[in-house]
Structure formats: structure tokens, C-alpha cells
Amino acid sequence: MEAFEEVIAKASSKPLEVELTGEDECGLYFTSGTTGVPKATLLTHRNMESVAIHENYAHRETNNDNFLLLQPLYHTGGKMHWFGNLIVGARATMIVGEKITPKLIFETIQNEKATITMLLVPWIQDMVSALDSGELKLEDYDLSSWRLMHSGAQPIPPSLVRHWKEYLTNVQYETHFGLTESTGPCIHLGVENMRKLGAIGRPNLNLDARVVNEKDEDVAPGKVGELILKGDNVMKEYYKNPEKTAETLRNGWLHTGDMVKMDSDGFIYFVDRKKDVVISGGENIYPAEIEDLLHALPKINDAAVIGIPDERLGEIAAAIIEPKPDVVLTEEEVKEFYEPRLAKYMWPRRIIFDKVPRNPTGKIEKPKLREKYAP
């Protein structure tokens, strides 16, 4: 370790004679590791510039905005959204080292006059629950500066958004979707497209997106396929991992491993991670669809669906359900809720009541659940 003052004392005051191009390497960011071991993703200056320009365009940020940044800076989620503010010299407010609670969010928006924030699903759920119970009261806070909330990092249940909007009627909402390999946000819904709530949106500026089959052929609108991307925000490589890079960057396209559908208007709907698909008796079951539905049951705080081995069917879907605090929820209640709403082959064959683990970016840590329940 070296003292900052000593470094400054030895440094020259002359300008650095270093020429940078867009292709120069800028930073290493690790993937979330929700489907395996996290990978080091090498991003360039052009990647960063591209996402900053799009985020500013998408959120119409000016230097009067103040972005409330709750996510860790080592991840491309909240940080790259904040770049839309940064590129026009706008402020950011950060919460560091404290547990994120609805009360803390409201207090910070009020005290710092924050205008934009990105909230993950657990935080939105906590906020709605606190407002429902009366633990949190809107009239106790001045939230007039708050103009926009957006969310991502996982599928966003439309029922949760609608419930949230019942309280925060004057705050606009939008959805985004991204991955570390695309320098964070790459698909964006936009406040003007709430009629498409449930979609993750359309591709960012200067980005091409396709939905393809196993042969990289485009699938028809409404059919499930893998999302692939091409544009200035696509990573340079996985750092010192040429094999995985060659597997992911093929024919100039980033193969995301995300299964999606695209409608006739070009809006994309997330289905699930390719590696999370449960194949039960030859049928593909997409856990995210079941998780979305379970979030609509008022007694459920969080839910995750994984595949566990089964001798007859190969795999069956298991639902790990975290009830809301101080609520009694039975297996029968859960089944009565989902059975009329899901095709029979999609029914979870096991219901497990347990806490749903999430990483600091809000994504469900399914490897941990598989290790515990499907070793």
C-alpha cells in the first residue's frame, strides 16, 4: 500500500501523453454467475460510450437530474444506467454500506431530491408490502422530485408494476434488459410503451437484435429462440478465455443464452435463460413464466423455480417459495392458485418453502438452490 500524498508528490504535472481509441480496453466486469462460474468480461471505451449515449437518450436526462444509485459499482447494472447521467454532468446520489429498505429509499429521494432510480424486484416488492401494511406512508415524504423508476436484472412481474403504480401515480416506469457482455442495458421498453408491459422492449440505439434457432436461423414472430446481438456495446472478449469467447461471439454476433420471443411489432419478451430451461417428459418448461405467475399471489414475497432429477420424466419443476413475513401459506393454497392458470405439464411437482437467495444485483442464485435441492 502506498500513501496517496506520496504518489502525488512524485507525479508530474504535465498532461498525460496517451492517445485512446474506442477499441482500447477500459474495464473488467464479472458476469453474475447465475448459471455457473462468473466470467471476466473485457469492455472497451467504445462499449462504455455507446451505453452512456443510449441511456441518456432513453431516459432524457439533463444535468438537472440526480440518479439514486443503489447497486454495487462492480456490476454493469446500476452503474451503466447512471452513465446516462454522467455523460451530461448530472449528479448521482449513492447509498453505500447500508441495507436497502423502502424507508431508506424514500428518505434519500426526499433529502437528496433524486429524480431517477433503478429498483430491483425485491426492493419494489418490499416497497409495495410496506405501503400495503401501512408501515410506510406516502404522505410522510416529499417525493415530488422523483420522475422515473426503471427496473431490470430479471423478469419483472407486470402485476407488481401495476400494484406499485397504484401508489406512485406520478412517477413514470420503464423496463430494461441487459447482460454484462452487452455492457449492461441493451433492450429498453420506454415509458411510451406501457401498452406492452411484460415485454423487455426493443434494441438500444446502434444495436441489432435477432431471435434465432440452434442453426442461427431467424425464427418466426411469437416463436421462442435465442437472443443474439450485434453493436458497439458488445464486449471485446472474455478475459484470457478464448474458448468461451469463441463459443459466445460467433459470426459477429453475441449469443446471449437468453430465450426470448419477438412479436410482430419488434418487441421482445424474455422467456428464460437457456441453461435454466427444465425439460420434463420431453416438454420445455420455462421457470421464469411460473415465477412471474407466483409473484401475483399476494402471500408470496419471492419465488424461484428449478429443475430437479426425476426417474420417470428426467426432470420436474420445483418451486421454492418465500412467503411474506408473518403470513401463513400452505402448499394447497399455492396449488389452487397456479393449477387453473398453467398448462398441466408446467405445474411444479414439488413446493418447497424456503428463502430465495439473490446476489447483490438482485438475480436469483439458482446454482445455490440446485446444490441444495438437486445435487
Q: Which residues neighbour 290 within 8 Å (Cβ) at sequence distance 6 or greater? A: 303, 305, 317, 319, 338, 342, 346, 348
Domain boundary among 235, 253, 273: 273
Select from 213, 248, 273 the last residue of a domain: 273
The per-residue pLDDT for 345 is: 86
Into how many domains does the chain fold?
Answer: 2
Contact between residue 284 and residue 301 where contact means Cβ atoms under 8 Å apart: no
**What is the grid cell recorded at 251?**
459470426
- Domain shared by 171 and 138, yes or no: yes
Domain extent, residue 160, equals 21-273
Is 157 found in the same domain as 86? yes
Beta-carbon contacts of 186 under 8 Å, excluding residues fewer than 6 positions away, are 177, 178, 179, 203, 204, 207, 209, 229, 231, 233
Q: DSSP character for 220?
A: P
Indicate whether 190 and 284 sit together in one domain. no
Q: What is the pLDDT along the chain (375 residues), one digit of tens a residue?
A: 899 999 999 998 888 888 889 999 999 998 865 555 678 999 999 999 999 999 999 899 999 999 998 887 877 878 888 999 999 999 888 876 678 899 999 999 999 999 999 888 878 888 998 999 999 999 999 999 999 998 877 677 788 899 999 999 999 999 888 888 999 889 999 888 889 988 999 998 889 999 999 999 999 999 999 999 999 999 999 999 999 999 999 999 999 988 899 999 999 998 877 778 888 877 788 888 898 889 889 899 899 999 988 877 788 999 999 998 888 999 999 999 999 998 888 899 999 999 998 877 677 888 888 888 887
Instruction: Verify that 208 and 350 share a domain, yes or no.
Output: no
Query: Is 15 part of any domain?
Result: no
Residue 190 maps to a domain: yes
